[in-house]
Amino acid sequence: MNFLWPQFLWLLLAAPLLVLLYAWLMRRKKKLALRYASLSIVREAMGVRQSVRRHIPPFLFLLAMVAMLIAAARPMAVVVLPSNQQTIILAMDVSGSMRAADVLPNRLVAAQEAAKSFLKELPRHVKVGIVAFAGSANVAQLPTTNREDLVTAIDSFQLQRATATGNAIVVSLATLFPDAGIDVSNFGPQSSRQRGVPLEQAGKAPQKEFTPVAPGSYTSAAIIMLTDGQRTTGVDPLDAAKVAAERGVRVYTVGIGTVDGETIGFEGWSMRVRLDEETLKAIANKTQAEYYYAGTAADLTKVYNTLSSRLTVEKKETEISALFALGAAVLALLSAGLSLLWFNRIL
């Protein structure tokens, strides 16, 4: 536990002084009582139990004062809180390699079912957008809280040629920041970004000045990309991950399939499709996110459930002065209440 105003902790030294003061007052009161026989007899009649009761209200009041002094020092602690993330982009691979059956019934169907299960676990207020990508990336569903529209978009996927994982990240970022001028055309050998012009200044319309932030610091949105990771065309995914990191957006990657993969046929082509874990791990690391491996349909469902839990709560250092102040108020009221109940007076 840390404190924003630790200098107030010096006031806690008053607690033992108050204990000594209370002991002195009790001793002085006892001496006065001994001067009167009748009072001494009454005290003996009260018994040990009544004597113990006499000290409980002052003890509770002392605890209340200690709690108030700690609250004044403004304590900070790491607690689990609801996440601030309000928008999640699901970037889902619909390339031909997703028809591989190393994950039953095949990679695409397993991914669709797991994504729909993921949506059920999310709080209803969280917006979700869908980006489908193969040789290019397109927004299948703009961010919405309507789960039925999201399920419809997921069920409508059609397999296409090639895999552009980098494009998926760029389009996801453009969906999260529609006014930022983020566009796939700004990437590549002839792009404005490569010629030294900042991405935010590229394009036809003037853009607002942008200052990079710490990776993972943007807590209002996240991207979850599910793919076998084998990029065959489009933007370099690590370049796209760099842009996401500059905006503080985490890109969680989910690798579906097996490392060995299998040979599949698609539209007259025959190809070996393997899981590119190295690239997916690099994307997650660059954006301060995490990589998850899903070798089977059951693993994939577990991964999405894990992501749901991680994206709806987070550990965060938070000031807890209010908790100590509340505790102090409860202790003070309890002290006063017991004193009135037992002795018909406060302390």
What CA–CA distance (Å, rounded) separates 344 from 321?
33
Alpha-carbon distance 187 to 24, whole Å? Answer: 80
Better-predicted residue by pLDDT, 125 or 279: 279
| Cis peptide leading into residue 212 (ω within 30°) | no
Per the prediction, the chain carries an average pLDDT of 81
Kindly report, as residue ranges, where domains of CATH 3.40.50.410 are found in the chain.
Answer: 82-317
Q: Is-contact 91 240, C-beta < 8 A?
A: no
- Residue 89 and residue 244: Cα distance in Å, rounded? 13
Name the residue among 293, 279, 294, 254 with its Cα closest to residue 103.
Answer: 294
Q: How many other C-beta atoms are found inside a 10 Å radius of the C-beta of residue 241?
A: 27
Question: What does the CA dihedral 41, 42, 45, 48 come to, rounded to 10 degrees?
Answer: -100
Confidence of residue 291 (pLDDT cuts 50, 70, 90): very high
Beta strands in the chain (DSSP E): 2-3, 75-82, 87-93, 127-133, 137-144, 221-227, 250-256, 262-266, 269-273, 291-294, 313-319
pLDDT digits (tens, 9 = 90+) for 18-62: 888 878 877 777 666 555 555 555 555 555 556 677 888 888 888
Please report where in the chains the tokens 């069920």 appear, as a residue.
155
- Check pLDDT > 60 for residue 192: no
Residue range 82-317, CATH number: 3.40.50.410
Residue-wise pLDDT tens digits, 278-288:
999 999 999 99
